[in-house]
């Protein structure tokens, strides 16, 4: 397993690779470490934990959808980021953005930004 640490504090380990009979990569699974529970009850600690937890859920959702998308389109030409998971979303905003982009077929096909009106 290869490990990577994101700027948001999450740690991702790259696990099993699924390949076809010719050795072509179909998808690579990711394992994400959950955020550390706060040791204090101050608002700042709880707010930080809330943001980290929300980021964790959205990044996990992105990787689950990415693997499902790559498996469903194993014989088609798709962007390599959906097969490998690199680059992975590392902030709350990038995780929201990646999930929206993965669910939008026009955005995936033409590689446009759904939140900037296609620019």
Phi/psi-derived region of residue 23, left when phi > 0, alpha when psi is between -120 and 50, beta in every other case: left
Task: Indicate the burial class of 98 (C-beta count within 10 angstroms; 0-12, 13-18, 19 or more).
Answer: buried
Task: Provide the pLDDT for residue 104.
Answer: 83
**Are 56 and 14 within 8 A, CB to CB?**
no
Task: Provide the pLDDT for residue 113.
Answer: 64
pTM of the model: 0.81
Task: Provide the pLDDT for residue 111.
Answer: 66
Cα 59 to Cα 56: distance, rounded to the nearest angstrom: 5
Which residues of the chain have a pLDDT value below 50?
7
Cα 79 to Cα 108: distance, rounded to the nearest angstrom: 8
Task: Provide the pLDDT for residue 9.
Answer: 65
How does pLDDT run across 20-44, given as a tens digit for each residue? 888 888 888 888 889 999 999 999 9
The residue extents of the domains of the chain are 2-110
Task: Provide the pLDDT for residue 46.
Answer: 95
């Amino acid at each position: 397993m290869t490990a990577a640490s994101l700027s948001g504090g999450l740690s991702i380990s790259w696990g099993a690779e699924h390949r076809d009979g010719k050795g072509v990569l179909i998808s690579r699974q990711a394992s994400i470490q959950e955020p550390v529970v706060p040791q204090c009850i101050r608002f700042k600690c709880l707010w930080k934990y809330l943001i980290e937890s929300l980021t964790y859920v959205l990044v996990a959702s992105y990787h689950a959808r990415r693997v499902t998308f790559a498996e469903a389109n194993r014989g088609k030409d798709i962007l390599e980021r959906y097969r490998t998971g690199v680059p992975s979303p590392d902030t709350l905003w990038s995780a929201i953005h990646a999930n929206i982009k993965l669910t939008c077929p026009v955005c995936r096909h033409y590689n446009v930004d759904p939140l900037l009106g296609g620019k």
